[in-house]
Amino acid sequence: MKKIPMLIDGEWVGGDSDEWLPVYNPSNGEMIAEIVNATDNQVEEAVAAARRAFESAEWRAFKPYERGQLLYEMAAFIRANKERLSRLETEDVGKPLFQAESDVEAAARYFEFYAGAADKSFGDSIPIEDGLLDVTVLEPMGVTLHIVPWNYPLQIISRSVAAALATGNAVIVKSAEDTPMTAHALTEWFKESKLPKGIFQHITGVGSEAGAKLASHPGINQITFTGSVKTGSSIMQAAAKNIVPVTLELGGKSPNIVYADANLEKAANGVLNSIIQNAGQTCSAGSRLLVEAQIKDKFVTMLKERFQTLKIGAGIENPDMGPILNKRQYEQILKKLEQAKKEGQIVVGGNAITVAGYEGGFYIEPTIIDGLNHESTIAQEEIFGPVLSVFTFHNPEEAIRLANSTNYGLVTGIWTANIDVAHYTASRVESGQVFINSYGAAGGIQMPFGGYKKSGIGREKSHLALMNYQQIKNIAIKYEI
């Protein structure tokens, strides 16, 4: 059994005296590895090592362009290991291989994007008065903590770690207990890289133990977290005690709004992909369909036909859709489907399935539910499975009202041929990202990503994310002769 150690202060940590936790392959339920459940002492050591590394002369001497070079090298490593990394991600998360391959490409792109930014992030000079030169300098936050979820581990580690290293921080990654494999592969590379020891560290373990200990540690200067609202809220409370900024990306209940004049073929494909990607276990999943009343039956039929032809199977077999992450998530989704059967009508799907040869895996049919009350918990709460709820509207105002009536506001898809309607709707929806006639266009490394309302605080991706990891120092210089 593969034993995955942690990286603390440049050394592998994990031995007989540690508690080891199992990691399973969601496609067949088999154990594939073990991780260390970090102790309080190990967390203390990691935070202390990060502080020493951050303050070291060696790290101060590391020039911004050298940080950039190192991140470019990481991107090259990711590309050169595309096959191995995608297989690891598929084995660990369950997603189809083609989706893992696109995650690997996105990870490489994050490192390249922020590599380029490493020596191009700078302050301003501010005109105040004669004899006074006022400048702002951007400085790293210090020790940044990256708490990563299980649904896109490779991408989510890459997007925040690349930005934090580009701007000169010492980073600690806490990977999700279910999916440590690609985090470990990146860690192996960092260990052998030119980075001073302690600048990149990887901690594993139970979220409510090691994760909570890290999040509340006074030695942490900034926290980036992706995951549930509940955990996000507790991390924010921990950060509040230390007056530490947080970047939170907390999921959504994102709508696709389909107007009657839309290209329905393209809209149906977009809606389908937005909910089956990673079996619906995606923060930006398009889990609500808001469709204009006069095309509802036709459009739902188009979707139903597409849902029925989807191939579901083990990630490694490259199906259209893979399994659910683990038994806990699987049972939660099935429970919600039972509730949906009572409160609405199942158009297609609605059940667990068994995949021949992979009987231990956690498979659920892609599902469309109609007839729910929009106030119901199923319509309002993140299901984190391949479950789409359908609602109708009669005019743009009603579409906008429905789109905005959840606690979330991460992504909105708008499908229409009418440019006025498209812009009007985009201007009124409470959503951090809006896609018109697409959903998740072009991957979006350069596009700011984050949520309105309970979908989170702050933005990741894009050059704006660099400010998550920097603080502004104003220096005023008085001169006279």
Catalytic residues: 249, 283
Give the separation between CA 448 and CA 461, rounded to whole angstroms: 5
Q: Which is nearer to ligand NAD, 148 or 163 (CB)?
A: 148
User: Could you tell me the smallest distance in angstroms from the CB atom of residue 382 to ligand NAD?
Assistant: 4
Give the separation between CA 452 and CA 459, rounded to whole angstroms: 10
H/E run at residue 56? none
H/E run at residue 52? helix 40-55
User: Could you tell me the smallest distance in angstroms from the CB atom of residue 264 to ligand NAD?
Assistant: 29
The contact set with ligand NAD (CB under 6 A) reads 147-151, 174, 176-177, 207-208, 211-212, 215, 226-228, 231, 234-235, 249-251, 283, 329, 382, 384
Q: Which is nearer to ligand NAD, 89 or 177 (CB)?
A: 177
Task: Convert 295-355 into a string of H (helix), E (strand) and C (coil).
Answer: HHHHHHHHHHHHHHCCCECCHHHCCCECCCCCHHHHHHHHHHHHHHHHHCEEEECCCEECC
User: Could you tell me the smallest distance in angstroms from the CB atom of residue 207 to ligand NAD?
Assistant: 2
Q: Among residues 17, 114, 451, which one has the least CA distance to residue 251?
A: 451
Q: Which is nearer to ligand NAD, 149 or 361 (CB)?
A: 149
Q: How far is CA 337 from CA 154, 205, 254, 280, 388, in A?
A: 30, 31, 19, 14, 11
- Which residue's CB comes closest to ligand NAD? 207
For the chain, what is the radius of gyration of the CA atoms?
Answer: 23
DSSP state of 280: G
CB proximity list for 471: less than 8 A, separation 6 or greater? 138, 139, 140, 141
User: Could you tell me the smallest distance in angstroms from the CB atom of residue 91 to ligand NAD?
Assistant: 18
Q: Which is nearer to ligand NAD, 176 or 291 (CB)?
A: 176
Q: Which is nearer to ligand NAD, 349 or 385 (CB)?
A: 385
Give the separation between CA 320 and CA 437, rounded to whole angstroms: 22
User: Could you tell me the smallest distance in angstroms from the CB atom of residue 251 to ligand NAD?
Assistant: 3
